């Protein structure tokens, strides 16, 4: 098994607010991230695909193809967007790094033509990232 | 509407924390010559320092109220209290009691940090990774529960 990783960067804004909580509770739980105007990050996304190289091409999958999928599914949807209001897949969810990573997994999983999506790693800052390995009890890490 | 979490998903949250400290690699079980041979420059009697980076990975269900595995404020304060405050700007051999009789290699540092963080009450500690410099790093996932990075 070979693991190949492609990286992209996108910039987006978000805010954390749970409508089921009072404004005071939201400020206490989410701190500065509850600022109603939102704030932004330069997200870095690493997408890892696992598979055996095709004996004819020597490739697990064509990186050009993975680049196109990431462009269509992630960049077009999320780059320079306000995640709470402009990304329908995140509607009703608090756009934490956990929820964005899980959403990205769901968007990508069926679009990987060769190999198998192994890991989605989303950096919100260089010091904070979330790894998603798909559905629990799915393929082993 | 209450936000929907992604609890069916296998998720892991990782946070990186820098600290700076000095250490000396010297084993009471080895002779002076053996210490020199085993540790080289790291056996210099005055010690030397590094800018360490600790990566702490936790897993657990995503709280539906917050969308989070663990609130970063809770994780940050726990790591600060257990590791950063006692370790940062110290001479590990002399000022961290756990290294009085244990050589503070980064392997042992990794294990000690894992031991200190294991009791984090809000999520399951999965892995501790310590970068001693930008060129080497060490990982520990506890005994008999190791999983691939």
* Closest to B50 measured CA to CA, from B76, B14, B79, B24: B24
Q: Which residues contact A23 (CB under 8 A, 6 or more apart)?
A: none
> What's the domain range around B58?
12-140
Is A124 tagged catalytic? yes
Tell me which of 3.30.1490.190, 3.40.50.300, 3.40.50.261, 3.30.479.10 is the CATH number of domain A2-14+40-132. Answer: 3.30.479.10
Q: Measured between beta carbons, which residues in chain B are less than 8 angstroms from residue A101?
A: 11
**Domain with B47 in it: what CATH number?**
3.30.479.10
Judge whether B6 lies within some domain: no
ipTM: 0.88
Q: Measured between beta carbons, which residues in chain B are less than 8 angstroms from residue A33?
A: none
Model confidence over A98-138: pLDDT tens digits?
999 999 999 999 999 999 999 999 999 999 999 999 998 76
Interface test with A, best of B4, B18, B56, B68 (most A CBs within 10 A): B68
In chain A, beta strands by DSSP E: 2-14, 39-51, 81-82, 116-125, 128-135
Question: What global pTM score does this model have?
Answer: 0.90
Closest residue, chain B, to A105 (C-alpha): B9
What total of structural domains would you count in chain B? Answer: 1
Q: Name the 3-class secondary structure at B27.
A: coil
pLDDT tens string for chain A (141 positions)?
999 999 999 999 999 999 999 999 999 999 999 999 999 999 999 999 999 999 999 999 999 999 999 999 999 999 999 999 999 999 999 999 999 999 999 999 999 999 999 999 999 999 999 999 999 876 555
| Cα dihedral B70, B74, B78, B80 in deg (nearest 10) | 120
């Amino acid at each position: 098994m070979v693991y190949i990783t492609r990286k992209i960067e996108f910039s987006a804004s978000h805010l954390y607010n749970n409508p089921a909580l009072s404004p005071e509770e939201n400020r206490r739980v989410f701190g500065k991230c509850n600022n109603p105007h939102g704030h932004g990050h330069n997200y870095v996304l690493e997408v890892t695909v696992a598979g055996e190289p095709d004996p004819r091409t020597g490739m697990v999958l064509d990186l050009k193809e993975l680049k196109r999928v990431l462009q269509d599914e992630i960049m077009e949807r999320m780059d320079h967007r306000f995640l709470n209001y402009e990304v329908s897949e995140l509607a009703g969810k608090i756009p934490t790094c956990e929820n964005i990573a899980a959403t990205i997994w769901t968007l990508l999983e069926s679009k990987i033509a060769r190999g198998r999506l192994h890991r989605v790693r989303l950096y919100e800052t260089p010091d904070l990232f979330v790894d998603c390995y798909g559905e629990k009890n799915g393929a082993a890490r | 509407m209450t936000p929907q979490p992604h609890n069916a998903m296998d998720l892991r949250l990782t946070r990186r924390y820098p600290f700076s400290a000095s250490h000396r690699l010297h084993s009471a079980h080895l002779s002076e010559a053996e210490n020199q041979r085993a540790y080289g420059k790291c056996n210099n009697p005055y010690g030397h320092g590094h800018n360490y980076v600790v990566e702490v990975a936790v897993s657990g269900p995503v709280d539906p109220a917050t969308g989070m595995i663990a609130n970063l404020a809770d994780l940050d304060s726990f790591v600060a209290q257990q590791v950063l405050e006692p370790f940062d700007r110290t001479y590990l051999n002399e000022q961290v009691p756990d290294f009085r009789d244990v050589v503070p290699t980064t392997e042992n540092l990794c294990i000690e940090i894992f031991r200190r963080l294991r009791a984090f009450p809000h999520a399951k500690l999965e892995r501790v990774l310590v970068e001693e410099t930008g060129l080497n790093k060490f990982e520990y996932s506890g005994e008999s529960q190791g999983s691939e990075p």
